Structure formats: structure tokens, C-alpha cells
Amino acid sequence: MMMCRILKIISISPEVKTMSELFDQMMSSCYELIATARSMMESCRQKRNKRKSDSRLVISMFLNRSIELFESFLVLLKNNRLADSAILLRSFWEMGINTSYIFSDIKLKEINALKFLINEEKEKTNLLRRNLEEFKKYDCNIEKRLKELEQQKIVMVDFFNKKYKTSDLKWPKIIDRAEKTKDRVVKKAYDQIYCYLCSIEHHDMSFGRNYIDEKTDEPLEHIKTPPLLRPELNIIMARSILLVIMKTFDKEYCLKWEGVLKKLEVKHGKEYEEMKQKDEKASS
């Protein structure tokens, strides 16, 4: 529901200056969220008798990487590098889509997690094989490492086929992953947000027009900022994904941080509502 409401206010573009206090408040909440995520990881490391699984392997990587990604995202926002922060936000959304897809069905999460890992191995080996002659110029051990990767992939595929009694290793396209997730925020975000962020990542002219004077074809002195790149809105979207990953991590490791995460979610929602109220005042 929150994402649906966010999308309704994208057309409103108040001056960022009127939001400075709220922006500072949101930044403070972001660092509180990061501190909580780090504490969760520490409590996980201290927990004894933990079972290993592919799903836990994946969500551990996602959480650790998402904290690093989120911190870099905040640095860019503070320095007003909005287009650059949007590229990291796109990466965040992709991680959110993967999390929601892999863990959307408790009966399939281990299968999906292993498919994710095998697909990664396939991409690495295919890349090396296509460019082997070029890589040889810089890495004399590349053929040995390629053989090791291919052997590792064979072992993983064999394990998958034997354990799950299927040879269906297809990893869906991102549009299909987003569609199959049960998370309404993620499902709606693919068409309405992720694709727009891809236009920034790939330097499409649909976004590039913010950099040029279309009357003269000359570069603008002051770059135009599209409403979707507003810092406060981007914080809301990035925090939504980080909370999804944190809740999944908590559930996978049975850490019992639900109460803490619920309070952070409520605070997150209040700041969103405050942003919306400021938008409504500005528009009137």
C-alpha cells in the first residue's frame, strides 16, 4: 500500500529546501536502521547450533551487501549526486526482487536459493569461456580457474538434480521474478520504478533529456531533477527494501527481532506520511 501511495505523489515536485529538516530526520533514521541491521548480524553470529542452508547463505550475503550498498547510497544523497544514487537504488531494487522471489514460498525457498547460486556459476563460466583468450593475456591461471568453476558447477547441478528430483534449473527473468513474488510493493515497483531506474543506469535519452537544452541541443548548466529522484522519496524506497531484507534475515535465522523491526517500520511509515503532508501543503 505504501508504494501505491508513493507513486501517486511522484508528480508533485516541491523544492528540496522545504524538506531539509525532514531529510535530516530521515538520514538519522537511516543510520539507526543500519545500526540495527549490524546488531542483527552480530546476534546471528553469536547464536549457537545454527543449521546451514542455501537460503541462509543467500540472505546472509544480501543483508551484508545491502548495508554496504545503503551506506554508499546515503553518501551520494548527502552530496546531491541524485542520478548516481539512483543507480545504487536500482541495484537495491534488484536485490529486493530476488529476496522476495526466493523466499515467497517456504516450500520452494531452498530450490530457488540453489537455482540463484547455480545461475551465478553459469554466468561466471560463460563469461570466462567467451573471453578466455583475452583473459589469458592478464591471468596465466585463468584456464585452471575456469576448470575449477566448471567442476564446481557440475557438482552443484548434480546435487540439485538428486536432491530435488528435477532438472529445471531455469532462473526466471527479472520481470517474471517480480511478477511471481507475493510482495505487493516489489510486484508494483518493477514497472513503475525499476524500469525508470534502468533508464538512468543505461543512459537512455528518456532520462538524458534532463542534461540538455532541447532547443539548442547544448548541455545544460544546471541539470534538471526529475520528481522521482527526490532525496526523500529515494530514502523511502531504499529503506523499504532494506526492511524487507532485514525481516527475511530475522525469519530465516529465528532471531526474534520482530518487535524491533516493527517499531522501525512504524517510524518509517510516519516519516513517509510527514513527507506526503509537506507535499500536499506545497502543492496547495
Co-location of 156 and 23 in the same domain:
no
Q: Which of 83, 276, 102, 61 is nearest to 186 (CA)?
A: 102
Q: Is residue 43 part of a domain?
A: no
Name which of 29-38, 66-75, 159-168, 206-215 the model is least confident about: 159-168
Co-location of 222 and 200 in the same domain:
yes
- Does the pLDDT of residue 175 top 70, yes or no? yes
Q: Is residue 48 part of a domain?
A: no
**Which of 16-25, 226-235, 257-266 holds the top average pLDDT?**
257-266
Domain that holds residue 150: 105-174
Co-location of 90 and 214 in the same domain:
yes
Summarised one tens digit per residue, pLDDT across range 105-115 is 999 999 999 99
Q: Within its chain, how far is the Cα of 224 from the centroid?
A: 25
- Cell 545500526 belongs to 35
Q: Please count the structural domains in the chain.
A: 2
Q: Is residue 46 part of a domain?
A: no
Co-location of 89 and 23 in the same domain:
yes
Summarised one tens digit per residue, pLDDT across range 77-102 is 999 999 999 999 999 999 999 999 99
Residue 117: count of CB within 10 angstroms of its CB: 18
Summarised one tens digit per residue, pLDDT across range 11-27 is 444 444 445 889 999 99
CA distance 156 to 117: 9
Q: For the CA atoms of 32, 53, 112, 234, what is the dihedral angle to 10 degrees?
A: 10
Of 145, 174, 203, which marks where a domain is finished?
174
Co-location of 59 and 186 in the same domain:
yes
Of 126, 157, 174, which marks where a domain is finished?
174
Of 139, 174, 209, which marks where a domain is finished?
174
Co-location of 201 and 279 in the same domain:
yes
Co-location of 94 and 188 in the same domain:
yes
Q: Is residue 42 part of a domain?
A: no
Co-location of 91 and 169 in the same domain:
no
Co-location of 110 and 188 in the same domain:
no
Mean pLDDT of all residues belonging to the chain: 88
Per-residue pLDDT averaged across 147-176, rounded? 89
User: Taking the model in full, what pTM does it have?
Assistant: 0.86
Q: Is residue 267 part of a domain?
A: no
